[in-house]
Structure 1
C-alpha cells in the first residue's frame, strides 16, 4: 500500500504529519515557487508519507536532538544539530521520529517551478532529486536563515525571496540531482537589446512590487539563465540592481524638502521607512535623514 501523499502547503494536510501548526509561514507573502515554514514541534513520531513538494529542512536547534529517519525504505539514526539540512524529494516515502524539542525551517519548492529552472541548467530534460539524510551544507543553511528572517520580518520582498529560491534550486540541481549542471562558457551576459529592454522595464516599474517571474517574462528567459546573465551584464543580481536604482531615486526625492522619509519610502516601493533606511544606509553609508542634511 502506497503511503499517503501530503501537500505540506495546506495546514489541514500538514497536521497529519506534524503535531502543531508552524510558528510562522510565508503563506501571506505570495512568493512564487517557494513556501517557507518555521516549526518548533515537541517530541513526536509521524507515519510514513510522501509530499507534493521538494522539501529542504534546515535545523536551528541549540541542543542536539536525537532522531530516526526513513527515506525510501532506508533507515538512519540522526543527531540533529544547528546548521544541518535534510533534503526530501517530492513523492519520496519518508518517516521521522524525534525525542526532543525541534526547531527547524522547511523550504518547500514547487516541482514544476524547479523543473523550469532545470530545463536550461541541466543536461537533459529529466532529472531526479537525490534524498539526503542530515548533513551540513553551508550555502543551503544561509539561504534558509535568510528566508526565515524574511518571513519573521513580514517584509514582502518578492524579488529577494525568489532570487534566493532560484539560487537554492540551482544548487540542488548541481549538487543533489542525477544530472550535472552544464553552463555555456561563451556567453558574456544578456544581449544588448534584452539588457536595455529589462533595464527600461525596471526603471518604468521601479515603484511597483517586482518579481523574478515578471522580469523573466519580459525577456522570455528561464529564471536560472536570467539571473546568471543579468549579473554578468551588470555585476549585480536583479535584487541588488533594483535596490540600487531605488536608492538613486530616493537621493533625488530627498532634495525635495516637502517629502517626508516615510513618503519617499512608499513612493519608491519599500514596505516601511525602517527597511528603506537600512537599505539606503547600506548603499550610501548614511541614513536618509543624514543625507538630506548634506
Structure 2
C-alpha cells in the first residue's frame, strides 16, 4: 500500500475512533491531514521513560510518517519499567547490552543484534548493567491493524503481536543497522528511511503475530468488505472520500458503518 494511501486510511480510522461517536451528517467529507498521524514522540510511553532517565542519551529521533517513529539511544547503569504503553515497539541492540536483562528473567542477557518486541499494553521491567546502544521503531495500533488486513488478510481484533525478548533475526538486525546509518531528516534519504521502517514492520507482522486466546468476535465488517474498502481507498487516494460513499459500499448506514469500521480496524 502506498504511503499516501496509508495516511488516508489512518486518518479515516482516527475520525471514527473517538468516544461518543454520533451519527455523522450525510455526505460529510474526510479531509487529508499531515503525516504526523502518530502522537508526537514525546507522548510515547517507552520514549518518555528513556527520555526522563539521567543515564539515557537520545542520539537521534524522527517521525517517519504512516504511524511510524524511530529513535536511537545510548544508556548505562539504569533501570526501566514499561507499564502498558499505547504503542508497539521494535528494539534492536546495536552495541553492548550484555549486562541487560528483564527482572523476571535475570538469567537471560542481551547482546549486539538481539531484538525485542514490546507490544502495546505489555508490562516489563529492565536492568541495564554496563553500556548499551539501541534503536527503536515505534508504531501505532492503527498501523498494526492496517497490516493485519493488507498483509495477512485477517481481522485485526483476532490477532496480537507476540511479546519477544532477545530474538535473533539477522535479516531484521541488518535492516536496523541500515536504518540508523541514514540521515532521517535528509529529504533525499526520507523515502529509503520510511521504506526500511515499513520492511521492519512487515517482517514482524509476518513472523511475530499470533491469534488472541479466548477471543470471541462480535460485530465488525466481513473479510470481503475490509478488502474492498482498502482497495477502494488505494485507488481513490487523491479524491475526496465521503463517509456515505464507504458506507454504501457495505450497504450500511453511515452511523453503523462507522462503528463496524472502528471494530474491524481499531484496537480490540
Partner of 1:38: 72
Give the Cα separation in 2 of the matches to 1:134 and 1:168: 16
Give the structure with the higher percent helix: 1
Query: Which of 87, 90, 109 is equivalent to 2:117?
Result: 87
| CA 11–101 in structure 1, closer or farther in 2 if over 3 Å, else same | farther
Which of structures 1 and 2 has the bigger CA Rg?
A: 1
Q: Work out which structure has the larger RCO, using CA pairs closer than 8 Å and 6 or more positions apart in sequence.
A: 2
Change (3 A) 1:216 1:98: farther
Does 41-50 or 153-162 show the bigger shift? Answer: 153-162
Cα pair 1:60 1:103 within 8 Å, conserved? yes
Q: Using the TM superposition, give the Cα deviation of residue 16 of structure 1 relative to its aligned residue in structure 2, in angstroms.
A: 3.3
| Residues 67 and 77 in structure 1, CA contact (< 8 A), matched pair in contact too | no
Question: Which whole-Å CA distance do the structure 2 matches of 1:216 and 1:139 have between them?
Answer: 34
Structure 1 residue 217 corresponds to structure 2 residue 237: yes
CA RMSD in angstroms comes to 3.2
Structure 1 CA distance for aligned equivalents of residues 234 and 72 of structure 2: 27
What SS does structure 2 have at the residue aligned with 1:75?
Answer: coil
- 1:79 CA displacement: 2.4
- For the residues of structure 2 that align with 1:142 and 1:123, how far apart are their CA atoms? 27
Q: Report the CA distance shift for 1:10/1:23 in structure 2 as closer, same or farther (over 3 A).
A: same
How many residues align structurally? 175
Give, in whole Å, the separation in 2 of the partners of 1:161 and 1:11.
22
Residues 129-170 of structure 1, C-alpha deviations (whole Å, 9 max, x = no match): 00111121112112211221224x632333322322222222
Equivalent residue number for residue 219 of structure 2 = none
CA distance in 2, matches of 1:119, 1:23: 34
SS at match of 1:142: helix
| In 1: Cα distance, 2:70 partner to 2:174 partner | 14
Return the alpha-carbon distance in structure 1 between the equivalents of residues 65 and 40 of structure 2. 16
* TM-score, structure 2 normalization: 0.56
In structure 2, stretches of 5+ residues that fail to align are 1-38, 212-230, 240-268
Paired residues for 1:1-294 under 5 Å: 9-10=41-42, 14-17=47-50, 19=53, 20-27=56-63, 30-61=64-95, 63=96, 65-69=98-102, 75-126=105-156, 127-151=159-183, 154-156=185-187, 157-178=189-210, 217=237
- Measured against aligned partners, the alpha-carbon deviations of 1:243-269 in whole angstroms (never above 9, x if no partner) come to xxxxxxxxxxxxxxxxxxxxxxxxxxx
Per-residue CA deviations over 1:159-201 (Å, capped at 9, x if unaligned) read 322322222222111110015xxxxxxxxxxxxxx9xxxxxxx
Name the TM-score, length of structure 1 as normaliser: 0.52
Bigger strand fraction: 2
CA contact (8 A) 2:49 2:82 kept: no
Conserved 8 A contact 2:101-2:107: yes
